[in-house]
Structure 1
Amino acid sequence: MTDLPSSLAAPALFALLCWWFGTGAILWLVRRPPAAFRRSLVLFSTLLALSLWTTQQSMQAQTVANAYLGFASVIVMWAWHELAFLTGWLTGPRRVPLTPGAHGWRRFGESTRVVIWHELALLLNFGVLLAMQQGQPSHVALCTFAILWCMRFSAKLNLFFGVPEVGEQYLPRHLAYLGSYFRKGRLSAFFYLSVAASMAVWVWIVWEVVSGRVVVSTGWVLLASLLGLAIVEHLIMAFPTPMQKLWGWAMSRSAAAERVHP
């Protein structure tokens, strides 16, 4: 029992730091002058290739080290996708604001064309991980990617259906047109459904341990923490949140860089 708090705290803190630092790093990089995008993409593409190898290594045994390795490897993969999207390199064939007055299927079609290449890249990455997972005992990496993808897709749908805080002010300048695709308004029924479903899954994961059906492991804590943080990101869309206080080191310096390099 004396080891339980430390077994929970260390991986939970690791997940929190990956979420906080990874988000801040991407916010900073995509607000640098466009000339720096190529260097950033080359660096992260190299890290992406390395992360595929380390992910495969992490799947080969259920150990504490492999749980951390698999989780961190997928965070690096995800960072590549976010960087590729937010630099404007991998978005979609449509790169203009939403047609004024568009609604219904037309709005859905235009919204899809804005991000379709990025969504296909994520699905391709997930397919690669599924192929790598075959016959391997550790599922931390695959589950990490699945949580990130599902919760990101849920967030996108919430921005489509409507939330009070769409966060368009945090888009880099070259992607400002994406803000026109967000619907700012009252919380939709989908928001309540998506948050309730996510929280139900999180409670179930925790209950499996509390009831003794699952033994606490590093991988379990990492995944539970990541899902909890993703739920918090959803709740941020419902309430005004000063993001600068979370990522001030990235936002303030990035904003200054954008003013210097319009």
Structure 2
Amino acid sequence: MNELLAPALFALLCWWFGTGAILWLVRRPPTSFRWSMGALSVLLLVSLWTTSISMHDHTVGSAYLAFASVIAMWSWHEMAFLTGWLTGPRRVPLQPGARGWTRFRQSVQAILWHELALLANFGVLLWMQQGQAGHVAICTFALLWCMRFSAKMNLFFGVPETGEQYLPRHLAYLASYFRRGPVSVFFFLAVGLSCAVWAWMVWQVSSGVATITTGWVLLAALLGLAIVEHVIMAFPTPMQKLWGWAMEKA
């Protein structure tokens, strides 16, 4: 039981605390952003080093190290985006009445630098992975990116709960790129596919096809949490209930 419960709880703690820490930091005075980004930039460099170490083998410790390192790495990207330091070349609201290709193009322009930074980070991980035995880090980053991409596309196509009220004041213009409305076909496809992958991962272990490993449980738990985040976009769920300590403004 411990081989399932411990990594699942670890993933839950990383998700809950990591999200809360970023929400808390971006609600500090803007003058604090440079210090936050400086500290997280150091953490980013350290996480790249620890990720490299974790890739050397398949031990339980290396799985935890890989997962925590990527969460730290991802936090840098989240903070860089939410502080407005790394968003895109377009920093104004969506053109009124924009639809179709125009809306899509302007939406991409609003987050382009952030997306390119994520791709560059993934490229670095691919380079580091060459000839290494452990794959937990690169799989964790890929999973985070896929589910983040799905969330962004759902905000583009439309969901009832866009979460625009939680955007920092300096990024309030991004709310104009969200579409509030009934869930789209894409939502059902994305959530359905995610649930199918999660069920397959559970079946692989329960049927004995795959051996239970710490990395496998960490990834399955993270995917489950990402599915929960998607469901939250379809139903009103005040974030204060999960991160009340982080949502208070400075």
- One-letter amino acid of the structure 1 residue matched with residue 5 of structure 2: A
What is the identity, as a one-letter code, of the residue corresponding to 1:116?
L
Q: 1:77 aligns with which of 35, 55, 73?
A: 73
SS in 1 for 2:16: helix
* Residue of structure 1 aligned with 2:22, choices 20, 26, 34: 26
Whether 1:154 and 2:150 are equivalent positions in the alignment is yes
Across the aligned residues of Structure 1 and Structure 2, the Cα RMSD in angstroms comes to 0.5
Output aligned runs, 1:37-116, within 5 Å.
Answer: 37-116=33-112
1:65-103 CA distance string (max 9 Å, x none): 000000000000000000000000000010011111001
Question: TM-score w.r.t. structure 2 length?
Answer: 0.99
Does 2:245 match 1:246? Answer: no
Q: Distance in 2 between matches of 1:104 and 1:27?
A: 32
Residues 187-226 of structure 1 mapped to structure 2, 5 A cutoff:
187-226=183-222
Shift of residue 240 of structure 1?
0.3
| 1:202-252 per-position Cα deviation (integer Å, ceiling 9, x unaligned) | 111111101101111111110000000000000000000011010000002
Q: What's the TM-score once normalised by structure 1's chain length?
A: 0.95
Q: Secondary structure at 2:39's aligned position in 1? A: helix
Are 2:129 and 1:126 equivalent residues in the alignment? no
Corresponding residue number in structure 1 for 2:134: 138
SS at structure 2 position matched to 1:213: coil
User: Which residue matches 1:35?
Assistant: 31
Corresponding residue number in structure 1 for 2:233: 237
Aligned pairs (5 A) from 1:164-203: 164-203=160-199
- Where structure 1 has 5 or more consecutive residues not aligned to the other structure, the ranges are 258-262
Partner residue in 1 for 2:6: 10
Residue 138 (structure 1) shift: 0.7
Query: How many percent of aligned residue pairs carry the same amino acid?
Result: 74
- Equivalent residue letter for 2:12: L
Partner of 1:260: none
What are the Cα deviations for residues 133-167 of structure 1, in whole angstroms up to 9, with x where unaligned?
11111100000000000000000000000000000
1:31 Cα deviation from its structure 2 partner: 1.0
Aligned AA (1:96): V
Count of aligned pairs: 250
